[in-house]
Structure 1
Amino acid sequence: MSLPRKFVRIAAAAGLIACLTGAAKPALDPANPTCPLNPDWSAHPAMKLTPVVKKGGKVLLAEGRIDAGLPERLKAVLAANPDIGEVWLRSPGGDARAGNAAGRIIRSNFGLTTRIPAGWACFSACNFVFMGGQPRVIDPGGLFIVHMFTRTGDRSTIDMSVAMGTDATKELIGDIEQDAALLASEDNDFLIRMGVSRKLLTEVMYQQKALANADDKSTRRCLTQAEVKTYNVANNNE
Protein backbone atom coordinates (compact mmCIF):
# COMPACT_ATOMS: atom_id res chain seq x y z
CA MET A 1 0.00 0.00 0.00
CA SER A 2 1.49 3.33 -1.07
CA LEU A 3 1.75 6.29 1.28
CA PRO A 4 -0.42 9.38 0.71
CA ARG A 5 1.32 12.00 -1.38
CA LYS A 6 1.50 14.51 1.49
CA PHE A 7 3.55 12.05 3.60
CA VAL A 8 5.96 11.49 0.73
CA ARG A 9 6.44 15.25 0.46
CA ILE A 10 7.03 15.54 4.23
CA ALA A 11 9.66 12.76 4.15
CA ALA A 12 11.44 14.41 1.23
CA ALA A 13 11.41 17.77 3.03
CA ALA A 14 12.81 16.16 6.17
CA GLY A 15 15.65 14.64 4.17
CA LEU A 16 16.43 18.01 2.60
CA ILE A 17 16.44 19.71 6.01
CA ALA A 18 18.84 17.06 7.34
CA CYS A 19 21.24 17.77 4.50
CA LEU A 20 21.00 21.54 4.93
CA THR A 21 21.55 21.38 8.68
CA GLY A 22 24.74 19.36 8.31
CA ALA A 23 23.50 15.96 9.46
CA ALA A 24 25.93 14.38 6.99
CA LYS A 25 28.99 16.19 8.40
CA PRO A 26 31.93 13.90 9.23
CA ALA A 27 32.32 12.80 12.84
CA LEU A 28 34.67 14.87 14.98
CA ASP A 29 37.77 13.41 16.61
CA PRO A 30 37.10 13.20 20.40
CA ALA A 31 40.84 13.65 21.10
CA ASN A 32 41.15 16.58 18.66
CA PRO A 33 37.71 18.21 18.69
CA THR A 34 38.55 20.92 16.13
CA CYS A 35 39.26 18.22 13.54
CA PRO A 36 37.34 15.39 11.86
CA LEU A 37 37.95 11.85 13.03
CA ASN A 38 39.39 10.73 9.66
CA PRO A 39 40.98 13.65 7.74
CA ASP A 40 41.41 13.01 4.02
CA TRP A 41 45.16 13.48 3.75
CA SER A 42 45.92 10.54 1.44
CA ALA A 43 47.63 7.23 2.16
CA HIS A 44 50.39 7.38 -0.48
CA PRO A 45 53.66 6.52 1.34
CA ALA A 46 55.53 9.07 -0.82
CA MET A 47 53.88 12.18 -2.23
CA LYS A 48 52.43 11.49 -5.66
CA LEU A 49 52.53 14.37 -8.16
CA THR A 50 49.92 14.22 -10.91
CA PRO A 51 49.37 17.01 -13.49
CA VAL A 52 45.70 17.15 -14.56
CA VAL A 53 43.43 19.57 -16.39
CA LYS A 54 40.76 21.11 -14.16
CA LYS A 55 38.73 24.32 -14.24
CA GLY A 56 40.07 25.12 -17.69
CA GLY A 57 43.73 25.03 -16.60
CA LYS A 58 46.46 22.64 -15.54
CA VAL A 59 46.61 21.66 -11.87
CA LEU A 60 49.19 19.58 -10.01
CA LEU A 61 47.66 17.13 -7.53
CA ALA A 62 50.17 16.63 -4.68
CA GLU A 63 48.96 13.75 -2.53
CA GLY A 64 50.59 11.68 0.20
CA ARG A 65 53.45 11.69 2.66
CA ILE A 66 56.22 14.25 2.19
CA ASP A 67 59.48 12.34 1.70
CA ALA A 68 63.07 13.49 1.31
CA GLY A 69 62.90 13.09 -2.48
CA LEU A 70 59.88 15.39 -2.92
CA PRO A 71 61.75 18.66 -3.66
CA GLU A 72 63.62 17.16 -6.63
CA ARG A 73 60.49 15.47 -8.01
CA LEU A 74 58.50 18.67 -7.61
CA LYS A 75 61.16 20.72 -9.36
CA ALA A 76 61.22 18.26 -12.28
CA VAL A 77 57.41 18.15 -12.66
CA LEU A 78 57.10 21.95 -12.63
CA ALA A 79 59.91 22.30 -15.18
CA ALA A 80 58.23 19.74 -17.45
CA ASN A 81 54.81 21.41 -17.06
CA PRO A 82 55.36 25.20 -17.06
CA ASP A 83 51.64 25.74 -17.65
CA ILE A 84 50.68 24.41 -14.18
CA GLY A 85 48.79 27.20 -12.43
CA GLU A 86 47.83 25.57 -9.12
CA VAL A 87 49.09 22.91 -6.72
CA TRP A 88 46.34 21.08 -4.82
CA LEU A 89 47.53 19.52 -1.58
CA ARG A 90 46.47 16.71 0.72
CA SER A 91 49.09 15.17 2.97
CA PRO A 92 49.65 13.84 6.50
CA GLY A 93 53.05 15.61 6.55
CA GLY A 94 56.40 13.89 6.77
CA ASP A 95 59.93 15.23 6.31
CA ALA A 96 59.89 18.75 7.75
CA ARG A 97 62.91 20.07 5.86
CA ALA A 98 61.69 18.56 2.59
CA GLY A 99 58.39 20.40 3.19
CA ASN A 100 60.22 23.71 3.60
CA ALA A 101 62.32 23.06 0.50
CA ALA A 102 59.23 22.19 -1.55
CA GLY A 103 57.56 25.39 -0.36
CA ARG A 104 60.54 27.44 -1.53
CA ILE A 105 60.46 25.72 -4.94
CA ILE A 106 56.78 26.65 -5.31
CA ARG A 107 57.54 30.25 -4.35
CA SER A 108 60.33 30.40 -6.95
CA ASN A 109 57.67 29.72 -9.62
CA PHE A 110 56.14 33.20 -9.55
CA GLY A 111 52.34 33.30 -9.37
CA LEU A 112 51.87 29.59 -8.62
CA THR A 113 48.76 29.13 -6.48
CA THR A 114 48.51 26.53 -3.73
CA ARG A 115 45.08 25.23 -2.76
CA ILE A 116 43.54 22.90 -0.19
CA PRO A 117 40.26 21.82 -1.82
CA ALA A 118 37.09 21.14 0.13
CA GLY A 119 37.37 17.86 2.02
CA TRP A 120 41.16 17.62 1.67
CA ALA A 121 43.56 17.94 4.63
CA CYS A 122 47.07 19.41 4.82
CA PHE A 123 48.90 18.53 8.06
CA SER A 124 52.31 19.17 9.60
CA ALA A 125 55.08 19.49 6.97
CA CYS A 126 52.38 19.96 4.33
CA ASN A 127 51.66 23.35 5.94
CA PHE A 128 55.02 24.63 4.72
CA VAL A 129 54.59 23.30 1.19
CA PHE A 130 51.26 25.14 1.07
CA MET A 131 52.78 28.38 2.36
CA GLY A 132 54.99 28.57 -0.72
CA GLY A 133 52.02 29.52 -2.89
CA GLN A 134 51.27 33.04 -4.02
CA PRO A 135 48.34 33.29 -3.72
CA ARG A 136 47.18 30.64 -1.23
CA VAL A 137 43.62 29.32 -1.16
CA ILE A 138 41.82 27.14 1.39
CA ASP A 139 38.37 26.27 0.11
CA PRO A 140 35.51 26.07 2.65
CA GLY A 141 35.77 22.54 4.01
CA GLY A 142 39.51 22.33 3.30
CA LEU A 143 41.61 21.59 6.39
CA PHE A 144 44.85 23.29 7.41
CA ILE A 145 45.94 21.23 10.44
CA VAL A 146 48.83 22.20 12.71
CA HIS A 147 50.73 20.61 15.57
CA MET A 148 53.90 21.06 17.62
CA PHE A 149 56.95 19.73 15.82
CA THR A 150 58.69 16.80 17.55
CA ARG A 151 61.35 14.28 16.65
CA THR A 152 60.61 11.95 19.55
CA GLY A 153 58.21 9.95 17.39
CA ASP A 154 61.22 7.94 16.14
CA ARG A 155 60.84 5.25 18.77
CA SER A 156 63.28 2.79 17.18
CA THR A 157 66.17 5.26 17.43
CA ILE A 158 65.33 6.16 21.03
CA ASP A 159 64.95 2.52 22.10
CA MET A 160 68.28 1.64 20.53
CA SER A 161 70.07 4.46 22.37
CA VAL A 162 68.52 3.39 25.67
CA ALA A 163 69.78 -0.15 25.08
CA MET A 164 73.27 1.22 24.45
CA GLY A 165 73.36 2.95 27.83
CA THR A 166 73.04 6.31 29.58
CA ASP A 167 75.71 8.18 27.61
CA ALA A 168 74.19 7.25 24.25
CA THR A 169 70.72 8.28 25.45
CA LYS A 170 72.00 11.65 26.70
CA GLU A 171 73.74 12.24 23.38
CA LEU A 172 70.57 11.43 21.42
CA ILE A 173 68.44 13.72 23.60
CA GLY A 174 70.97 16.51 23.07
CA ASP A 175 70.89 15.96 19.30
CA ILE A 176 67.07 15.99 19.30
CA GLU A 177 66.89 19.21 21.30
CA GLN A 178 69.51 20.91 19.14
CA ASP A 179 67.88 19.85 15.88
CA ALA A 180 64.39 20.81 17.10
CA ALA A 181 65.66 24.28 18.08
CA LEU A 182 67.33 24.68 14.68
CA LEU A 183 64.17 23.60 12.85
CA ALA A 184 62.10 26.04 14.91
CA SER A 185 64.42 28.84 13.78
CA GLU A 186 64.14 27.67 10.16
CA ASP A 187 60.34 27.57 10.42
CA ASN A 188 60.27 31.10 11.82
CA ASP A 189 62.45 32.38 8.97
CA PHE A 190 60.30 30.51 6.43
CA LEU A 191 57.07 32.13 7.68
CA ILE A 192 58.61 35.58 7.43
CA ARG A 193 59.76 34.95 3.85
CA MET A 194 56.36 33.58 2.83
CA GLY A 195 54.44 36.50 4.35
CA VAL A 196 52.69 34.40 7.00
CA SER A 197 52.24 35.87 10.47
CA ARG A 198 54.83 34.62 12.98
CA LYS A 199 51.96 34.48 15.47
CA LEU A 200 50.90 31.25 13.73
CA LEU A 201 53.92 29.64 15.41
CA THR A 202 53.64 31.31 18.82
CA GLU A 203 49.86 31.46 19.23
CA VAL A 204 48.83 28.23 17.50
CA MET A 205 51.52 25.71 16.53
CA TYR A 206 53.64 25.96 19.66
CA GLN A 207 50.55 25.90 21.88
CA GLN A 208 49.79 22.32 20.79
CA LYS A 209 51.29 19.41 22.67
CA ALA A 210 53.94 17.33 20.95
CA LEU A 211 52.67 14.10 22.54
CA ALA A 212 49.34 13.14 24.06
CA ASN A 213 49.03 12.34 27.76
CA ALA A 214 46.44 10.66 29.95
CA ASP A 215 44.65 13.92 30.76
CA ASP A 216 44.69 15.55 27.34
CA LYS A 217 45.10 13.56 24.14
CA SER A 218 44.81 16.53 21.76
CA THR A 219 47.93 16.97 19.63
CA ARG A 220 46.60 18.84 16.60
CA ARG A 221 44.32 21.69 15.66
CA CYS A 222 42.30 22.50 12.56
CA LEU A 223 42.26 26.23 11.83
CA THR A 224 38.97 27.94 11.04
CA GLN A 225 38.42 30.01 7.91
CA ALA A 226 38.69 33.13 10.08
CA GLU A 227 42.02 31.99 11.55
CA VAL A 228 43.64 31.19 8.20
CA LYS A 229 42.85 34.77 7.15
CA THR A 230 43.95 36.29 10.48
CA TYR A 231 47.39 34.67 10.24
CA ASN A 232 47.62 35.28 6.48
CA VAL A 233 47.88 31.56 5.83
CA ALA A 234 45.29 32.02 3.08
CA ASN A 235 45.68 35.35 1.30
CA ASN A 236 43.15 35.15 -1.51
CA ASN A 237 39.79 36.86 -1.91
CA GLU A 238 37.81 33.86 -3.16
Structure 2
Amino acid sequence: MSALALLMAVSLTATEVETAIAAIPPDPDNPSCPRTLNWSTYREMRFTLEKTEARRILKAEGRIDADAATRLQQALKDNNPVDEIWLRSPGGDARVGNEAGAMIRKAGIPTRIPQGWACFSACNFMFMGGPIRFVDDGGIFAVHMFTHLSDKEAVHAEVAQSADKAAQVIGDVEQDSAMLASEDNDFLIKMGVSRKLLTEVMYKQKAVAAGDGDKSTRRCLTLMEAVKYNVANAQ
Protein backbone atom coordinates (compact mmCIF):
# COMPACT_ATOMS: atom_id res chain seq x y z
CA MET A 1 0.00 0.00 0.00
CA SER A 2 1.37 3.43 -0.95
CA ALA A 3 1.81 6.19 1.61
CA LEU A 4 -1.08 8.14 0.09
CA ALA A 5 -3.33 5.07 0.15
CA LEU A 6 -2.40 4.57 3.79
CA LEU A 7 -3.50 8.11 4.57
CA MET A 8 -6.88 7.31 3.05
CA ALA A 9 -7.24 4.00 4.86
CA VAL A 10 -6.80 5.23 8.43
CA SER A 11 -8.22 8.03 10.51
CA LEU A 12 -5.51 10.36 11.72
CA THR A 13 -5.32 13.52 13.78
CA ALA A 14 -4.10 16.70 12.09
CA THR A 15 -0.66 16.30 13.69
CA GLU A 16 -0.46 12.66 12.59
CA VAL A 17 -1.45 13.65 9.05
CA GLU A 18 1.31 16.26 8.89
CA THR A 19 3.83 13.68 10.12
CA ALA A 20 2.65 11.11 7.59
CA ILE A 21 2.77 13.63 4.74
CA ALA A 22 6.29 14.66 5.69
CA ALA A 23 7.32 10.99 5.39
CA ILE A 24 6.09 10.73 1.77
CA PRO A 25 9.05 11.11 -0.61
CA PRO A 26 8.78 14.11 -2.94
CA ASP A 27 8.73 13.88 -6.71
CA PRO A 28 12.35 14.53 -7.75
CA ASP A 29 11.21 16.47 -10.84
CA ASN A 30 8.35 18.29 -9.08
CA PRO A 31 9.59 18.73 -5.48
CA SER A 32 6.49 20.63 -4.30
CA CYS A 33 4.47 17.44 -4.94
CA PRO A 34 4.64 13.92 -3.51
CA ARG A 35 6.16 11.24 -5.73
CA THR A 36 2.75 9.57 -6.16
CA LEU A 37 -0.44 11.52 -6.81
CA ASN A 38 -3.70 9.68 -6.11
CA TRP A 39 -5.84 11.14 -8.87
CA SER A 40 -7.64 8.05 -10.27
CA THR A 41 -6.85 6.19 -13.47
CA TYR A 42 -10.39 5.98 -14.86
CA ARG A 43 -10.30 7.01 -18.53
CA GLU A 44 -13.70 8.70 -18.12
CA MET A 45 -14.90 10.50 -15.01
CA ARG A 46 -17.21 8.38 -12.86
CA PHE A 47 -19.81 9.73 -10.47
CA THR A 48 -20.86 7.60 -7.51
CA LEU A 49 -22.95 8.49 -4.48
CA GLU A 50 -21.77 7.66 -0.98
CA LYS A 51 -24.26 8.02 1.85
CA THR A 52 -23.30 8.63 5.45
CA GLU A 53 -25.53 9.37 8.42
CA ALA A 54 -25.01 13.09 7.92
CA ARG A 55 -24.24 13.65 4.22
CA ARG A 56 -24.84 12.54 0.64
CA ILE A 57 -21.46 12.73 -1.11
CA LEU A 58 -21.02 12.55 -4.86
CA LYS A 59 -17.57 11.24 -5.73
CA ALA A 60 -16.16 12.51 -9.04
CA GLU A 61 -13.20 10.34 -10.02
CA GLY A 62 -11.18 9.95 -13.20
CA ARG A 63 -10.25 11.88 -16.31
CA ILE A 64 -12.46 14.82 -17.31
CA ASP A 65 -13.53 13.59 -20.74
CA ALA A 66 -15.68 15.34 -23.35
CA ASP A 67 -18.95 14.08 -21.84
CA ALA A 68 -18.06 14.55 -18.16
CA ALA A 69 -20.21 17.66 -17.68
CA THR A 70 -23.22 15.94 -19.25
CA ARG A 71 -22.83 12.95 -16.93
CA LEU A 72 -22.33 15.27 -13.96
CA GLN A 73 -25.62 16.99 -14.73
CA GLN A 74 -27.37 13.62 -14.88
CA ALA A 75 -25.68 12.43 -11.67
CA LEU A 76 -26.82 15.56 -9.82
CA LYS A 77 -30.36 14.98 -11.06
CA ASP A 78 -30.39 11.27 -10.22
CA ASN A 79 -28.87 11.69 -6.75
CA ASN A 80 -30.52 14.91 -5.62
CA PRO A 81 -29.89 16.19 -2.99
CA VAL A 82 -26.08 16.15 -3.00
CA ASP A 83 -24.36 17.72 0.02
CA GLU A 84 -20.77 17.67 -1.24
CA ILE A 85 -18.74 16.73 -4.31
CA TRP A 86 -15.39 15.04 -3.74
CA LEU A 87 -12.83 15.23 -6.55
CA ARG A 88 -9.99 12.88 -7.56
CA SER A 89 -8.82 13.52 -11.11
CA PRO A 90 -5.73 14.00 -13.31
CA GLY A 91 -7.63 16.63 -15.31
CA GLY A 92 -8.46 16.33 -18.98
CA ASP A 93 -10.57 18.61 -21.18
CA ALA A 94 -9.99 22.15 -19.89
CA ARG A 95 -13.20 23.67 -21.20
CA VAL A 96 -15.29 20.77 -19.90
CA GLY A 97 -13.66 21.32 -16.50
CA ASN A 98 -14.78 24.95 -16.59
CA GLU A 99 -18.27 23.90 -17.71
CA ALA A 100 -18.57 21.38 -14.90
CA GLY A 101 -17.31 23.97 -12.40
CA ALA A 102 -19.95 26.47 -13.53
CA MET A 103 -22.58 23.72 -13.21
CA ILE A 104 -21.49 23.00 -9.62
CA ARG A 105 -21.64 26.70 -8.77
CA LYS A 106 -25.16 27.00 -10.18
CA ALA A 107 -26.21 24.00 -8.08
CA GLY A 108 -24.59 25.59 -4.99
CA ILE A 109 -22.83 22.39 -3.90
CA PRO A 110 -19.62 22.52 -1.79
CA THR A 111 -16.53 20.77 -3.17
CA ARG A 112 -13.78 18.92 -1.34
CA ILE A 113 -10.38 17.36 -2.03
CA PRO A 114 -10.23 14.73 0.72
CA GLN A 115 -7.17 13.51 2.56
CA GLY A 116 -4.96 11.52 0.19
CA TRP A 117 -6.78 12.58 -3.01
CA ALA A 118 -5.30 14.76 -5.78
CA CYS A 119 -7.01 17.22 -8.13
CA PHE A 120 -4.88 18.34 -11.09
CA SER A 121 -5.20 20.51 -14.20
CA ALA A 122 -8.81 20.79 -15.47
CA CYS A 123 -9.95 19.30 -12.16
CA ASN A 124 -8.81 22.56 -10.51
CA PHE A 125 -11.56 24.49 -12.27
CA MET A 126 -14.20 21.89 -11.57
CA PHE A 127 -13.25 22.06 -7.88
CA MET A 128 -13.27 25.87 -7.80
CA GLY A 129 -16.91 25.82 -8.91
CA GLY A 130 -17.93 24.97 -5.37
CA PRO A 131 -19.21 28.03 -3.48
CA ILE A 132 -17.66 26.45 -0.37
CA ARG A 133 -14.35 24.68 -0.98
CA PHE A 134 -12.41 22.36 1.31
CA VAL A 135 -8.85 21.09 0.81
CA ASP A 136 -8.32 18.61 3.62
CA ASP A 137 -4.97 17.95 5.30
CA GLY A 138 -3.27 15.59 2.88
CA GLY A 139 -5.45 16.67 -0.05
CA ILE A 140 -3.50 17.82 -3.11
CA PHE A 141 -4.46 20.78 -5.34
CA ALA A 142 -1.86 20.52 -8.13
CA VAL A 143 -1.55 23.01 -10.98
CA HIS A 144 0.43 23.37 -14.19
CA MET A 145 0.82 25.65 -17.18
CA PHE A 146 -1.84 24.45 -19.60
CA THR A 147 -0.79 23.32 -23.06
CA HIS A 148 -2.82 22.19 -26.05
CA LEU A 149 -0.07 19.85 -27.25
CA SER A 150 -1.67 16.74 -25.78
CA ASP A 151 -1.01 14.79 -28.99
CA LYS A 152 2.62 15.79 -29.42
CA GLU A 153 3.40 13.22 -32.13
CA ALA A 154 0.60 14.55 -34.35
CA VAL A 155 1.80 18.13 -33.84
CA HIS A 156 5.41 17.16 -34.64
CA ALA A 157 4.24 15.42 -37.81
CA GLU A 158 2.39 18.52 -38.97
CA VAL A 159 5.26 20.85 -38.10
CA ALA A 160 7.70 18.63 -40.03
CA GLN A 161 5.76 19.10 -43.26
CA SER A 162 6.88 22.65 -43.98
CA ALA A 163 7.75 26.00 -42.47
CA ASP A 164 4.33 27.33 -43.46
CA LYS A 165 2.61 24.41 -41.76
CA ALA A 166 4.72 24.93 -38.65
CA ALA A 167 3.77 28.61 -38.52
CA GLN A 168 0.09 27.73 -38.90
CA VAL A 169 0.20 25.15 -36.08
CA ILE A 170 2.03 27.53 -33.76
CA GLY A 171 -0.42 30.31 -34.57
CA ASP A 172 -3.42 28.07 -33.88
CA VAL A 173 -1.95 26.94 -30.54
CA GLU A 174 -1.16 30.51 -29.50
CA GLN A 175 -4.64 31.74 -30.41
CA ASP A 176 -6.46 28.94 -28.61
CA SER A 177 -4.16 29.27 -25.58
CA ALA A 178 -4.89 33.00 -25.39
CA MET A 179 -8.63 32.33 -25.55
CA LEU A 180 -8.42 29.69 -22.82
CA ALA A 181 -6.32 32.02 -20.64
CA SER A 182 -9.03 34.67 -20.96
CA GLU A 183 -11.72 32.12 -20.11
CA ASP A 184 -9.76 30.93 -17.07
CA ASN A 185 -9.30 34.50 -15.88
CA ASP A 186 -13.04 35.20 -16.17
CA PHE A 187 -13.81 31.91 -14.41
CA LEU A 188 -11.64 32.75 -11.39
CA ILE A 189 -13.29 36.17 -11.07
CA LYS A 190 -16.77 34.59 -11.09
CA MET A 191 -15.75 31.93 -8.56
CA GLY A 192 -14.14 34.40 -6.15
CA VAL A 193 -10.63 32.96 -6.54
CA SER A 194 -7.64 35.30 -6.72
CA ARG A 195 -6.37 35.84 -10.27
CA LYS A 196 -2.89 35.77 -8.78
CA LEU A 197 -3.26 32.00 -8.75
CA LEU A 198 -2.77 32.27 -12.53
CA THR A 199 -0.02 34.88 -12.64
CA GLU A 200 1.96 33.85 -9.54
CA VAL A 201 1.62 30.08 -9.78
CA MET A 202 0.03 28.48 -12.87
CA TYR A 203 1.62 30.62 -15.57
CA LYS A 204 5.06 30.31 -13.98
CA GLN A 205 5.16 26.54 -14.53
CA LYS A 206 6.81 25.01 -17.60
CA ALA A 207 4.47 23.61 -20.22
CA VAL A 208 6.94 20.80 -20.95
CA ALA A 209 9.96 19.49 -19.04
CA ALA A 210 13.26 21.11 -19.96
CA GLY A 211 16.01 18.98 -21.42
CA ASP A 212 18.48 19.82 -18.66
CA GLY A 213 18.24 21.11 -15.13
CA ASP A 214 14.78 22.01 -13.81
CA LYS A 215 12.22 19.51 -15.12
CA SER A 216 9.31 20.67 -12.98
CA THR A 217 6.00 20.98 -14.85
CA ARG A 218 3.57 20.96 -11.94
CA ARG A 219 3.14 22.68 -8.60
CA CYS A 220 1.28 21.40 -5.54
CA LEU A 221 -0.11 24.20 -3.37
CA THR A 222 0.44 24.15 0.36
CA LEU A 223 -2.67 24.56 2.49
CA MET A 224 -1.48 28.07 3.32
CA GLU A 225 -1.28 28.91 -0.39
CA ALA A 226 -4.70 27.37 -1.03
CA VAL A 227 -6.13 29.76 1.57
CA LYS A 228 -4.05 32.71 0.32
CA TYR A 229 -5.48 32.46 -3.21
CA ASN A 230 -8.96 31.62 -1.87
CA VAL A 231 -8.85 28.21 -3.55
CA ALA A 232 -9.92 26.82 -0.18
CA ASN A 233 -12.37 29.15 1.55
CA ALA A 234 -13.50 26.87 4.40
CA GLN A 235 -11.94 24.51 6.92
For residues 219 and 145 of structure 2, the distance between their equivalents in structure 1, rounded to whole angstroms, comes to: 10
Structure 2 residue 103 is matched with structure 1 residue 118: no
- Residue 160 (structure 1) aligns with: 157
Alignment match of 2:202 (pick from 192, 202, 205) = 205
Where does the alignment leave 5 or more consecutive residues of structure 2 unmatched?
1-15
**Paired AA for residue 80 in structure 1:** D
TM superposition score normalised by structure 1: 0.88
The number of aligned residues is 219
Secondary structure at the aligned position of 1:200 is classed as helix
Where does the alignment leave 5 or more consecutive residues of structure 1 unmatched?
1-17
Higher strand share: 1
88 and 210 in structure 1: CA distance in 2 versus 1, 3 angstrom threshold: same
For residues 69 and 25 of structure 1, the distance between their equivalents in structure 2, rounded to whole angstroms, comes to: 38
Secondary structure at the aligned position of 1:28 is classed as coil
Q: Deviations over 1:152-200 (max 9, x none)?
A: 2321321231343222221111100000000000000000000000000
Structure 2 residue 61 is matched with structure 1 residue 63: yes
- Residue 216 (structure 1) aligns with: 214
For residues 83 and 208 of structure 1, the distance between their equivalents in structure 2, rounded to whole angstroms, comes to: 38
For residues 70 and 226 of structure 2, the distance between their equivalents in structure 1, rounded to whole angstroms, comes to: 29
Q: Deviations over 1:92-143 (max 9, x none)?
A: 1110000000000000102x11000000000000000000001000001000
- Residue 181 (structure 2) aligns with: 184
- Report the Cα offset of residue 43 of structure 1: 0.4
Secondary structure at the aligned position of 1:73 is classed as helix
For residues 89 and 60 of structure 1, the distance between their equivalents in structure 2, rounded to whole angstroms, comes to: 9
Secondary structure at the aligned position of 2:71 is classed as helix
- Report the Cα offset of residue 79 of structure 1: 1.3
RMSD over aligned Cα atoms: 1.7
For residues 149 and 23 of structure 1, the distance between their equivalents in structure 2, rounded to whole angstroms, comes to: 27
**Overall identity of the aligned pairs, in %:** 56
- Residue 88 (structure 2) aligns with: 90
Structure 2 residue 76 is matched with structure 1 residue 72: no
TM superposition score normalised by structure 2: 0.89
- Residue 168 (structure 2) aligns with: 171
Determine which structure has more spread, i.e. the larger CA radius of gyration: 1
- Residue 108 (structure 1) aligns with: 106
- Residue 134 (structure 1) aligns with: 131
